[in-house]
Amino acid sequence: MRDPATGDWTSHPIARVAECPNRPIVVIDEQNRVLHAFYTAPAPPAFSCTSRGGAIYEKTSSLDAISFPTDSGTAVVLDADTASVHNVSTSKQNVTTQTGLVVVAANSSTRRYWHHYDPLGPALPPPPPSASFTGSPLIGEAPLDVHFTDTSTGSPTSWSWSFSDGGTAGRPVSGSI
C-alpha cells in the first residue's frame, strides 16, 4: 500500500510460504473499506503443494488497519473432481455493494471455468488493539534504567503503564525499575 500523505510504501503479508500460495490478486472495496485477497493454494484434503493449482482462497482485511488472518483463508472456488483450479481473476474494476464482487478461475484438467460471487456486506470492524511491549536492558543492578518500546498492534490510542515502584504512565515511556 502507498500512503498518499507521505508517498511511502508498506507491505502486508497475505499468506505464509508454508501455505504454498501463488498468483494472488487484491480487490479494494472502498465503500466498505475492505481488502479482498484471492490466491491459489493446495486444495483439501491432500493440501499438496504443486504448480498445477488447487483451490482459490479468500482472506479479507479492514482497509483502516490492514492485517490478514494467519489461517489459510476461506476456500471460495473448489472443484470436487480435481484439485486443479488456478489463475483467479477479476474484472479489475472498483467493487461496491451495488456491483458485488465476482472472481473467476480455470481448471486446466477439466477445462472448466468456475466463479465465486460475493454480494459484499457491511464493513469489517477493525481488529481490537493488542497490548505488547519490549524492554531493554532486561538484566542489571537495581535501580535499572529500562527503555520500554511499544509493540502493540491495532492502533491503540492510549496507554496505561504500571511499574513495580508504584509509578504509572499514560504513554510509552522509559522508566527505572
Q: So where are the chain's domains?
A: 17-118, 133-176
Q: Is a pLDDT exceeding 90 seen at residue 138? A: no
Question: What confidence score (pLDDT) does residue 140 get?
Answer: 86
Question: What confidence score (pLDDT) does residue 106 get?
Answer: 92
Handedness of CA 87, 93, 94, 95 (dihedral sign): negative
Give the integer Cα–Cα distance in Å for 177 and 163. Answer: 7
177 three-state secondary structure: coil
Q: What is the pLDDT of residues 62-76, one digit of tens each?
A: 988 899 998 889 999
